[in-house]
Structure 1
């Protein structure tokens, strides 16, 4: 028997081309990462909130909050945490080579930290200072939309009784990231503060929802999306049921600190409106007074007046006299 029999045979080198990964279809990319996908013309949205646009046969992706990610390979790096080549290998994996490739880390399940009575009192003090009424705090806590933890409040979304999303709002001055989603949150299940069913408001932040209910005597059902670019929640059955029951859906828009950002967020809100219109024909936009950024910001200055809000008695009275300050 020759020595060649004992020599280690070299495995063939498999060269992977980035162009192969970047020309994959959105549906194939979603399949690789085991994500749901919705297509809207040349735009797509994954079930984790990430959105993509077809640019001449090449997909360009951005996060749920509008921050750019890049092409398919960049998306693979973003989702897996791998370097370029392992991410490309994962993206192009097949049954023949899959065992030799790294395994994508599983997404951590959502677990809410627990808070005690001290945390509850601190969280309440923070929200009361922002003008939120005690009645609204009690309502939000009782329905499970509002939680209190160490140094922060949580705005919680459900699928029936399962907690599937939680947005954290820290209030300590030393908090490096006061606004963020907890790991494992699914933006397709936003926090909801129930109110009258014939009118639905869509707001970006949980404090906005609390502020709206603190201002209006007969507040609407309020959906907390988590951002102007978030749309994965609209097509969910439990959400489409809420939208379909409404006579009017009002999208609350922020006043941004730059013209460029205002144009971008306004465009994102229009995309939200286009999808919502499939369930409720009347979709309107609302802006706060020029001196305020959002509903939460204007709360202390307009209370107890409600002339800036459609469907409020004060608004309707001023409208009938032709003196309305509406931004509807």
Structure 2
């Protein structure tokens, strides 16, 4: 294999640039040319492809976002759209493709693999919702961003003796809410994978105030409920002033943590090694701190699981 392609797709996540850097430098180490595909699958359909050099990826390991930019592309879900993409890959003499992104990115990679094109998929999403990998690129950074926000909100919540409901991202997965809620000492955590009783949450808040507690923090995953609606109901039932903070896209930005930089570097290097060794149509992941590969189809068919023992621990510690 002499020339490979590289793209980032879907929502951006901190560490994507570190992964791009690793792919380019590892490939050049093996005398392989790397072509960057800009704006994800949409750019592939349009033929927005440029050669990447060592200098292209200089001083990007610490930067959030993605220098290749990203986009969502409904057209790629069509057969005609994928034919255009494959035609551009052939025109640029690209022999293998590495894609970096989340669930939608993996589905696109699987379609290319079914069409016979050698493809490797790397998990990068702050939602950490890709099956069969302990972590995806960007989750740790987003988690620390949320925790920092919770710590700051707790200061003002204590000063004003108020309830704060904090909404975090995650689509239909509760990992970001669960981890940040446990690490931030939240009184209640609402996630899509578990049902909740708002009356019980209000009773817990009341018990806390009766024993002298000055504040309460409720973390809500965007996929389970609206923080605004939850706050209104809590205030109506408790008669305690309740405020809402929706963290939004601040969770996606920022310089990646050391963990995400290392994870991204390991994933990127592994992807190149797989292509070099003719081991195609694989998804790279982390399991027990070891880099592993599985078929993309296996990852897509596996069910996503939340760590329920962690959820139970959060409940036990927030009595």
| TM tier relative to shorter chain | under 0.3
TM-score by length of 2: 0.25
Q: Which has the higher contact order (CA 8 A, sep 6+)?
A: 2
TM-score by length of 1: 0.24
Structure with higher helix content:
2
Larger radius of gyration: 1
